[in-house]
Structure 1
Amino acid sequence: MTVPQLIAAELRRLVATRMGRLALLALALVPLLYGGVYLWANQDPYAQLDELPVALVVDDAGDDGRVVGDEVAERLVADGAFDWHRVSAEEASAGVADATYDFSVTLPASFSADLASAAGDDPHRAVVALSTNDANSYLATTIGTQAAERIRSAVARSVGEEAASRMLLAISDIRDGLVDAHDGAATLTEGADDAASGASRLATGADALADGTGQLSTGAAALADGTGRLADGAGRLDDGLGQLEQATASLPAQTRQLADGAQQVADGDARIAAIGGEVADAVAPVAARVPEARAAIVERLQQAGLDEAQIAVALGPLDGLGDDVAAADARVQDASAQLDRLAAGAQQVADGAERLASASPQLAAGIASAADGAGDLADGAADAHEGAVRLADGAASAASGAGELATGAHALDDGLGRLDEGTAQLRDGLGDAVAQIPATTEQERAAQSSMISDPVRTDADAVASAGSYGAGLAPFFLSLAAWIGMYALMLILKPLSRRAITALRSPVRVSLAAWLIPTLIGAAQMAALLAIVGLALGFPIAHPALMLAMMVLAVATFAAIIVALNTWLGSVGQFLGLVLMVVQLVTAGGTFPWQTLPAPLAALHHALPMSYAVDGLRQLMYGGSMAAAGADALVLVAFGAGALALIVLGVARMVDHRTLRDLQPSLIG
């Protein structure tokens, strides 16, 4: 018998009776029902979350007239991600307990106040309370946790955007203030520069005043000495005239001497009067410049920004000095006038003495008058000396005050110089600060606050995409359906014909027939299952033809493995096929990544064929790596070839000899 004949014989055996046909049909439909119904039920469960009843409790009491909890609730209900029900806290608690609601979300009474606390001195986080019940559904609890996190993130983003907007607006206001401050600092710098220039000129003028008052003090001291000598001379003149009046006998000779002495006195008085005039001429311009200097200082201090009270304090010492200078000038002018009178009187005395000498006969009559004039001269000289002493004292005080004025003026010059530098630094610093804060528009601040509140976005770039939850599970359940289909068929199939083994004695042909019978049925199952997945359920398939080839390869490999187990171990091998299905259900990595498995099971992931079938179907269904799919196909071919070799060896063993187990009926099938 040929291989096709062996296959046809086994198929005729299966459909020979009604029950056989029903059994074959039922078992053939097992993988279709398993894969199709499960994938149909899980086609896209996340698209149906709006049917999930969820309790929403808003106890928010608000803050400053704003109830953020109501705003959040309105957005949630409008979004429609879940079937939200706004209920009381008691209704929510009872509903989660009796499965009316899968979970509940509560916004507590302090929700708005907690969000607003960021602007106060006791910032603390607001709370979104989640209540779940795993007895209702563990996945509902997981979904609820994710939903609460999304609510928290959305609220945090909204609050962060508002806070960032307020902060950016404050920064913009600060920048405007810095611009104004910079302009003011620039104006202040200009005023400080002018004040520094004025202070420098004031210091120069004060130095000149100090020099002039020093000269005045020296001249006044000399004037006091001269007037002292004048007073002494006038006293002696008075005494001499008295003696002259008593001793007129020697009048001609004495008058000549008197004329000579009087002329000397007149010359000395003239020199003293000239010195007094020079002193008066030196003092008068200084006194005249004091008001001008004071007015200039007042103007500079006003330009520097000092008020009237500060100007009055600053000019106190200067005003006192000015008064002293004015008083000294008055005394000097008065003394100069008296010296002029003294000089004129002395000259008159000299002239009179000359006339007396020339006209001694007339001198006797005028001696009395001369004596009286000498008395007046003595008194005037005494007064002039007293005035000169006061002038010297005043000039010394003026010199001391002028020195203090010069010192103060230099200190003011230094201070205003530092003020000028400081205001320039302030202006430049404010300019740098303004440059570091960019000017923004309202639209720019809105964009910036949005970015600050949510600075990172996910730019997903899928190398291969399943598209939906059901499509993501499809490769795993298609592979599992292929194994289940093979396992179920082995309950009624007898691929190893005892008669063929005995009659043909050809292990290869018998083995091929034993493997091809379930493989052909499984290939038909896979074609029907692929049609359900791609057409009925509408899952996208990147490479339909290659995916069908991978499914047929997988079912052929599984068929070879299960037949090999049955060939060598009989009913025990059939049971091991079930055990292998359970183990691969865990290790194939169909739901969670295989790296999350315990170490022993993770090692089995690489040692069992379903792992490669799942990975290969994923690559072909999602448009992944063709090289990876080819490598998975080669591994399946290796598993299948190894299983076929075991089948051939098992059949060869049966051809050569039979065991007692071969004669006993199987417990299964």
Structure 2
Amino acid sequence: MKNFLLKKEFSAIIKNKKLLISIIAVLFIPIIYSGMFLWAFWDPYAHLDNLPVAVVNEDKGATFEGEELNLGDELVSKLKDKKDFKFIFVEKEEGYKKLEDQEYYMLVEIPEDFSKNATTLMDENPKKLDLIYVPNESYNFLSAQIGENAMVRIKASLSKEITETYAETMFDKVAKLSDGMKTASDGAGKLSEGAKELSKGSETLHKNLATLAEKSIQFHNGMNEASKGSKEVADGAASLSSGLSQLLEGHQKLQNAANELKTGSVSLASGMSQANAGIQKAEQSIPQLISGTEKLQTGAQTLSSSLQQWQIGAESAVQGAKKLNEGTVLLESNLKNIMPMLPPEKQQELQVALNSLKQGSAELANGTGQLANSAGQLSTGANTLSQQLGALKQGQEQLQTGMSQLAKAGSELETGANQMAAGQKEFVSGMSTFGQKFAEAKDGSVRLAQGATKLAGGVNQLTDGSSQLADGSDKLEEGAQKIAEGNSKVHKGNRELAEKLADGAKKASSVDADEKTYNMMAEPVKVKNEKLNEVPNYGTGFAPYFLSLGLFVGALVLTVIYPIREPAAVPRNGFSWFFGKFGVMAIAGLIQAIISDIVVLGVLGLEVKSVPLFVLFSIITSLAFMALIQFLVTMFDNPGRFIAILILIFQLTTSAGTFPLELIPESLQHFHAFLPMTYSVKGFKAVISSGNFSFMWENFMILLIYALVFMVGTLIYFNAVHKRRFSAAE
């Protein structure tokens, strides 16, 4: 009875209700472990609309091409229609506070310059549109990664919309460009005609430049003469400056004399006023003298004495009048040298005053002379006054006439003296102003001398420049010849340009843009996702990993509750011992695999390429894990279980069930090829998603080899132990 020990093992399990219940529970460990994970993460993206995400719109809008642009509002409107997340639209302060309080997984902020930056594409320094994405990674890291992928899609959508706006504007510019090219074509035609005229003008320019070259030589010769003359001007300016210095000194002396003359003229005017007052009084006394002639007879003696004194005063007055006349003549002589310096109107006024003064002084001298003569006659005839009253009366009448003339001349002399004093005052003031201007003239002469020196230097440089001008004129003549030739080519080129612009305008006007054109410009490349062996959801993608993990854990837990080393009865040999233990584990592993397959296929709805092959591969995977763990626990007991846990940990990281192998540390990649879960994951992927059954069978055979190797190892161990323990007892 080859299966004797196997029956004993099952009989012992059935009899031990506690063990039986434990083993039955263990049979569901793989599906509880793997099925729960697959169920929980079967398709998490299908529930993103339950993930709360805050949206803060700070955009203030902008104006683009005369139209209002509010990308922030448009984005908010689109997000309200989308079901990517549970979008909650809040104010900035509230959004960040609740994000910190873990009420939101992430926050999307639309800055205030969002629309404004969209209008800067054509600017010298265009600005990108910042869309601020703030995940709370401490709340849930994977949600942050999911949100980042969603932001990429939002960015692509916004980029398309903005590019459509720019494309529409660009095509409008193309239409305007067409009109501009037509205008440019017409202008190019006119430019061609102008170039033709320019060509003619350049020939004329060439002739004129030849004349210029000839005249520049003459100009150079003239500049040599000008250089000599400028040196003479500099020398003359220096002499002028020296002469003005001497003249300024003479002017100072003349001004001092004028001040003295001003003082004398004031004194003269004062004296003339007093003399005129006396004459006026004398004139008023003559009528009384005539009326009192009769009384004079009695006072002849007294009159004789008085007339003698009067004669002496009259003679003195005659001498003073003569001196006044002589002084007036001398003043006129002195003023003749000064008068040309005065303004013409002042000269005329001064001359009139001098003439009046001369006439008055002459009349004064004549009158005082007559007065002296009369006084003498009166003095000599005083004794015979009474006898010659008729003659005295006649003489008194003559005296009255002379006194009237004298009074008139005195008044005129007083007026002239006052005018002379006023004129002299103005003359002194003019001399002061003249002195100031003379000083400025002297300073100007100094600057003139300096400028003349600089002029001489500049003329020398100009002379050198005229030489260079002559050389340049020759070169200009040569250049003008080349310009004439170039203008001829420009004429031909402009004619060709006009033709090409007309063709370009025709082609540009043929562009007919619409919404489809704008859309194509905004999204010229459309990624067509043609998936190879499409995986519909996370559950399908992770099924190979979690199924392998569940079956391995189920095998490991079974060794905890089932006595994997001690036989239910005395084994005949090591083979029956091994078969009894492995048989129980194999049947348990078979049941675990079938239960797991039923749940993932029937309950979770896992779609596979072949159900029979999927079930078959699940069974070989379970048996391979059972064989491995049986070997470790049988050989080492609890340390063996610890080794199995270490293998499980290594398999979690190196089996490439989650992240690609190339993304894990290189030091861990070396364990990949030596662990059985590597091949179970590959085989499950082939039978579930790719349908590459040859690849599945390849991994199936590797797992079968794992199973056989560890089964043989366990068999060898049981044979060795059986010989030591039971052979001696027999």
TM-score bracket, shorter-length normalisation: 0.5 to 0.7
The answer to whether the 8 A contact 1:175-1:439 is kept is: no
Q: Distance in 2 between matches of 1:537 and 1:32?
A: 11
Name which of 140, 148, 153 aligns with 1:150: 153
- Partners of 1:438 and 1:592 lie apart in 2 by 55
The residue number in structure 2 matching 1:554 is 621
- 2:496 corresponds in structure 1 to 425
Q: How many residues align?
A: 444
CA distances 1:14-56 after superposition (whole Å, capped 9, x unpaired)? 2223322321222112111111111111110001001101110
Unaligned segments of structure 1, at least 5 residues: 200-410, 664-669
Shift of 1:503: 3.7
Distance of 1:176 and 1:453 partners within structure 2 = 25
Q: Can you list the C-alpha shifts for 1:259-317, whole angstroms capped at 9, x where unaligned?
A: xxxxxxxxxxxxxxxxxxxxxxxxxxxxxxxxxxxxxxxxxxxxxxxxxxxxxxxxxxx
SS state at 1:566 partner: helix
Alignment of 1:241-320 (within 5 A): none
Match of 1:504 among 568, 572, 577: 572
Distance in 1 (alpha carbons) for counterparts of 2:520 and 2:528: 15
Equivalents in 2 of 1:45, 1:176: separation in Å? Answer: 57
Tell me the secondary structure at the aligned position of residue 674 of structure 2: coil
What is the distance in 2 between the residues matched to 1:438 and 1:83?
48
TM-score scaled by length of structure 1? 0.61
- Looking at structure 1, the residues matched to 516 and 506 of structure 2 have their Cα atoms a distance apart, in angstroms, of 21
Q: What's the TM-score, normalizing by structure 2?
A: 0.56
Question: Could you list the per-position Cα deviations for residues 419-461 of structure 1 after superposition, in whole angstroms to 9, with x for gaps in the alignment?
Answer: 7523431134325645875832123xx4444333333332223
Match of 1:10 in 2: 9
Higher RCO, Cα 8 Å, sep 6+: 2
Contact 1:495/1:517, CA 8 A, preserved across alignment: no
Q: Which moved more, 1:544-553 or 1:514-523?
A: 514-523
Q: Which runs of 5+ in 2 are unaligned?
A: 201-481
**Contact preservation (8 Å) 1:6, 1:513:** yes
1:168 and 2:171 correspond: yes
Partner amino acid, structure 2, of 1:580: I
- Structure 1: how far apart are the matches of 2:556 and 2:719? 24
Structure 2 residue 26 is the aligned partner of structure 1 residue 27? yes
Q: Percent identity?
A: 25
Q: Where does residue 598 of structure 1 map in the other structure?
A: 665
Contact 1:10 1:494 in 2 (8 A): no
Task: Give the counterpart letter for 1:39 in structure 2.
Answer: L
Q: Secondary structure at the match of 1:590?
A: coil
CA distance in 1, matches of 2:59, 2:486: 62
Amino acid at match of 2:687: L
Aligned match of 1:129: 132
Supply the distance in 2 between the matched residues of 1:68 and 1:139 (Cα, whole angstroms).
Answer: 29
Structure 2 counterpart of 1:513: 580
In structure 1, distance between residues paired with 2:196 and 2:642? 107
Q: Does 1:73 align with 2:76?
A: yes
Superposed displacement of residue 539, structure 1: 2.0
**Cα distance between partner residues in 1 of 2:669 and 2:119:** 50
CA contact 1:43–1:468 (8 Å) conserved in 2: yes
Q: For residues 577-656 of structure 1, what are the structure 2 equivalents within 5 Å?
A: 577-656=644-723
- Which residue matches 2:533? 464
Q: Equivalents in 2 of 1:27, 1:414: separation in Å?
A: 104
Conserved? CA contact 2:564–2:633, under 8 Å: no
C-alpha RMSD of the superposition: 3.2
The amino acid of 1:614's aligned partner reads V
Q: Is 1:487 aligned with 2:556?
A: yes
* C-alpha spacing 1:627/1:186, structure 2 compared with 1 (3 Å): farther
The CA deviation at 1:496 is 4.5
Q: Following the alignment from structure 1 to structure 2, what is the Cα–Cα distance between the partners of residues 423 and 75?
A: 53
Equivalent residues of 2:54, 2:104 under 8 A apart: yes
**C-alpha contact 1:541 1:622 (8 A) present in aligned 2:** yes
Q: Choose the corresponding residue for 1:140, options 134, 140, 143.
A: 143
Q: Indicate the larger mover: 592-601 or 605-614.
A: 592-601
Code of the residue aligned with 1:427 in structure 2: it is: A
**Residues 548 and 677, structure 2, Cα contact 8 Å, conserved in 1:** yes
User: Which AA in structure 2 matches 1:178?
Assistant: M
Aligned partners of 2:708 and 2:109: how far apart in 1? 61
Deviation for aligned residue 1:150: 2.6
The residue type paired with residue 623 of structure 2 is A
Code of the aligned partner of 2:715: V
- Contact residue 617 and residue 629 of structure 1 kept, 8 A: yes
Once the two structures are superposed, residues 229-257 of structure 1 have per-residue CA deviations (whole angstroms, 9 ceiling, x without a partner) of: xxxxxxxxxxxxxxxxxxxxxxxxxxxxx
Deviation (angstroms), 1:602: 1.0
Mean Cα displacement is larger for which, 591-600 or 449-458? 449-458
Contact 1:540 1:621 in 2 (8 A): yes
- 1:273 corresponds in structure 2 to none
* Offset at residue 147 of structure 1 (A): 2.5
| 8 Å contact kept, 2:610–2:687 | yes
Change beyond 3 A, Cα 1:481–1:414: closer
Superposed displacement of residue 635, structure 1: 1.1
CA distance in 2, matches of 1:172, 1:658: 101
Matched, 1:440 2:528: no
The CA distance in 2 between the partners of 1:8 and 1:188, in whole Å, is 112
1:50 aligns with 2:53: no
Distance in 1 (CA, whole Å) between partners of 2:485 and 2:657 is: 86
- In structure 2, what is the Cα distance between the partners aligned to 1:513 and 1:2? 10
- Rg: which structure is higher? 2
How far off its partner does 1:87 sit? Answer: 0.4
